[in-house]
Structure 1
Amino acid sequence: METEIVSEFLPFGRIYKDGRVERLTGTEIIPPSLDARNDVVSKDVVYSPDHNLSVRLFLPHKSTDNKLPLLIYIHGGAWIIESPFSPIYHNYVTEVVKSANCLAVSIQYRRAPEHPIPAAYEDSWSAIQWIFSHADGSGPEEWINEHADFNRVFIGGDSAGANMSHHMAMRASKEKLDPKIKGVAIVHPAFWGTDPVDEHDVQDAETRSGIAEVWEKIASPNSVNGTDDPLFNVVGSDSDFSGLGCEKVLVAVAGKDVFVRQGLGYAAKLEKSGWRGDVEVVVEEEEGHVFHLQNPDSESASRFFKKFVGFITGSSTDVM
């Protein structure tokens, strides 16, 4: 086996001379289970035979409701690591499904560097189209046909998944997805650009170049404008948010996250855009990037979890 390293993109992985990609984290997998775990059952269903891509479905085991809110989840991981089958995402979505009493569909997408952007975006949209093929109750997957309430559809994601959640909502409007999406949760979004969005944004040249390198050399080497690609530079670009295809948005940021000013800038841009929905911003000043996944038992993670569940159920922040 070829052992010469051509490129190293720590902490994510390495590329070898023979083209092999070694991921250093986010590779562990939990299998689905039709035996209830934490009162939730799960299974994997192929939505793209051409690319051998699946979604993982999560359903409350003892729900008495015939129709449930539908959460479409797009995982993070810098477009490079993790999957719906990773313990960190399987366990988190399980908890959300249990507490929100919802049906969740967690999307697998092709990852860089083997499949550079825009593959992840195209796959996510393909999965959403597949999910919405069930809106009239005649799709290929019985759980979605029987339990999904398409008047209560939410898209959510963290980091790279939050970035893609925004773009999926924009595309839903452009392509007139029907029924319309009710809400989108943008959690610690991976938005970036060549220049800081304000004087409080990251000024350190090494940090900025490090993030740019991941995008330009690994995730999206074909971007003509580098980090100013509108897919990445969502806040600083001249993109129009007024047509965002949902009724409400939850924007969550963490004070010690390098993306915090981008997230706050996103919420401000959305509010000024003429979009007619509701924007709610949640800030945890003393936490870092995706703290709620890294340390789910912390007090701040519990606080955000209640907010996220409440966003889906339409209840107050005191939901348990």
Structure 2
Amino acid sequence: MVVSNPTINQNIENLEINPKPQPDDPTSIVEEIEGVIKLYKNGYLERSIKVMSSVSPYLDSNLQVNARDIFIDKNDNIWARIYVPKRNNNNNSLLPIVVYFYGGGFCIGSTAWKCYHDFLGKLSSEAQCVIVSINYRLAPENLLSVAYDDGMKALMWVKQQGNIGQTSEFWAKYCDFSSIFLGGDSAGANIAYNVTLRHGMSNSNNIKGIVLIQPFFGGEERTNSEISSINVQTCKSALSLAASDIYWRIALPLGANRNHPWCKPLQKDMKWLENIRIMIYVAENDILKDRNLGFCDVLTSNLGNQVEKFISDGVGHAFQILDESTISQTRKQEMIFNIVNFIGK
């Protein structure tokens, strides 16, 4: 069983100042997800620029959606890419808002990644909703709870726009601030869930719903889908068990293991989700399948018909943004259709 390594966390504290070790010293690498991330024992972090390309806010004109990047907090480099469906002069109806968090194990990713830009542009167009896609700070430079702090700050910023006359931002005048949803995939779904809990604990929870796509949770005890993950990988699931463990080791607070409540949600916290509708998407070939299904069962036992569960057959983790196969494209369109219905209720 692998647990958190305090030495690794202590090395992380010096990420900003330590130079890159000599490349001829492979023993200096303490954590590596091949082709994605390397963490050296002196605290130096290396992310591959080949993982995914970043793109400008431009979208295909056929989508009829405008996108723009806006800073939320320049000091902490928290910003958003906002997607707004184009409106004609005769349409005065206000649009629901989706505050979205991208995935990447808390350690990689950007709201400017092409895969997210394309997915969220299409979702905004089909759901006729304003999407505020949040770029938050990453681990291991910023251990959890920083991503949750950034998510909460972003949510409060969004709500603030509705309190100042809906005229301060180009998108706010089109929004129904009584219809705010949170959403995300993988680690982003984890962030959406934990931000919703925080918001509920503040006694100001007017979130209408949350969309959790293959939420990134864990635990020290392995599930069946994790144990059988070697077979799952043959089905092109983007997340391996080894990668999952590394993400948690370098993202969780010093000394924490995978039983930490940010990794393994506590049933007692679910009371803060009362009156919030929840959509959960599970991928059949995902190593997280059993963990996600168990999470659904606990939520349903506590919240009843507030919870809607969907299982995407024949596809793996993050299929909707990373897999271009025919079956994945079909499942992605089904997902968008169901999200559109969920938001529109």
Instruction: Give the whole-Å Cα distance in 1 for the aligned partners of 2:229 and 2:172.
Output: 50
- Tell me what 2:317 maps to: 289
- Using the TM superposition, give the Cα deviation of residue 302 of structure 1 relative to its aligned residue in structure 2, in angstroms: 1.4
Q: Which one of 190, 212, 215 corresponds to residue 216 of structure 2?
A: 190
Q: Does the 8 Å contact 1:188/1:259 carry over to 2?
A: yes
User: 5+ unaligned residues in a row in structure 1: which ranges?
Assistant: 315-320
Instruction: Give the whole-Å Cα distance in 2 for the aligned partners of 1:171 and 1:245.
Output: 13
Q: Which one of 161, 178, 182 corresponds to residue 134 of structure 1?
A: 161
Q: 1:202-281 alignment to 2 at 5 Å? A: 202-203=226-227, 211-216=244-249, 218-222=250-254, 224-234=255-265, 237-244=266-273, 246-273=275-302, 275=303, 278-281=306-309
Q: Is the alpha carbon distance of 1:31 and 1:20 closer, same or farther for their aligned partners in structure 2, counting shifts above 3 Å? A: farther
Q: Which one of 65, 77, 80 corresponds to residue 55 of structure 1?
A: 80
- Using the TM superposition, give the Cα deviation of residue 239 of structure 1 relative to its aligned residue in structure 2, in angstroms: 3.6
Instruction: Give the whole-Å Cα distance in 1 for the aligned partners of 2:47 and 2:161.
Output: 35
Q: Does the 8 Å contact 2:77/2:136 carry over to 1?
A: no
- Is 1:13 matched with 2:13? no
Q: Is the alpha carbon distance of 1:210 and 1:146 closer, same or farther for their aligned partners in structure 2, counting shifts above 3 Å? A: closer
- Tell me what 2:69 maps to: 44
Q: Any idea what the Cα deviations from partners look like across 1:164-218, whole Å, max 9, x if unmatched?
A: 111111111111235x111101110111100135xx44236997565333311x2
The percentage of aligned residue pairs carrying the same residue is 25
Instruction: Give the whole-Å Cα distance in 2 for the aligned partners of 1:108 and 1:140.
Output: 23
Instruction: Give the whole-Å Cα distance in 2 for the aligned partners of 1:7 and 1:145.
Output: 46
- Using the TM superposition, give the Cα deviation of residue 284 of structure 1 relative to its aligned residue in structure 2, in angstroms: 1.6
Instruction: Give the whole-Å Cα distance in 1 for the aligned partners of 2:128 and 2:314.
Output: 30
Q: Does the 8 Å contact 2:77/2:137 carry over to 1?
A: no
Moved more, 303-312 or 118-127: 303-312
- Using the TM superposition, give the Cα deviation of residue 35 of structure 1 relative to its aligned residue in structure 2, in angstroms: 9.1
Equivalent AA in structure 2 for residue 192 of structure 1: G
Instruction: Give the whole-Å Cα distance in 2 for the aligned partners of 1:260 and 1:27.
Output: 25
Higher relative CO (CA 8 A, sep ≥ 6), structure 1 or 2? Answer: 2
Q: Is the alpha carbon distance of 1:29 and 1:215 closer, same or farther for their aligned partners in structure 2, counting shifts above 3 Å? A: same
Instruction: Give the whole-Å Cα distance in 1 for the aligned partners of 2:201 and 2:167.
Output: 25
- Using the TM superposition, give the Cα deviation of residue 72 of structure 1 relative to its aligned residue in structure 2, in angstroms: 0.6
Q: Any idea what the Cα deviations from partners look like across 1:37-58, whole Å, max 9, x if unmatched?
A: 6311111111112212211111
Q: Any idea what the Cα deviations from partners look like across 1:103-136, whole Å, max 9, x if unmatched?
A: 1100010001221211111111111111111222
Q: Which one of 98, 104, 121 corresponds to residue 77 of structure 1?
A: 104
Instruction: Give the whole-Å Cα distance in 2 for the aligned partners of 1:78 and 1:239.
Output: 25
SS in 1 for 2:226: coil
Q: Is the alpha carbon distance of 1:62 and 1:272 closer, same or farther for their aligned partners in structure 2, counting shifts above 3 Å? A: same
User: 5+ unaligned residues in a row in structure 2: which ranges?
Assistant: 1-19, 231-239
Q: Any idea what the Cα deviations from partners look like across 1:253-311, whole Å, max 9, x if unmatched?
A: 011101011111111111112x3661110012311001111236621221112112221
| TM-score after normalising by structure 1 | 0.87
- Tell me what 1:103 maps to: 130
Moved more, 63-72 or 101-110: 63-72
Instruction: Give the whole-Å Cα distance in 1 for the aligned partners of 2:43 and 2:202.
Output: 37
Would you say how many aligned residue pairs link Structure 1 and Structure 2? 306
| TM-score after normalising by structure 2 | 0.81
Q: Is the alpha carbon distance of 1:144 and 1:116 closer, same or farther for their aligned partners in structure 2, counting shifts above 3 Å? A: same
Q: Does the 8 Å contact 1:26/1:83 carry over to 2?
A: no
SS in 2 for 1:142: coil
Equivalent AA in structure 1 for residue 212 of structure 2: I
- Tell me what 2:10 maps to: none
- Tell me what 1:318 maps to: none
Equivalent AA in structure 1 for residue 271 of structure 2: S
Instruction: Give the whole-Å Cα distance in 1 for the aligned partners of 2:139 and 2:109.
Output: 11
Q: Does the 8 Å contact 2:104/2:187 carry over to 1?
A: yes
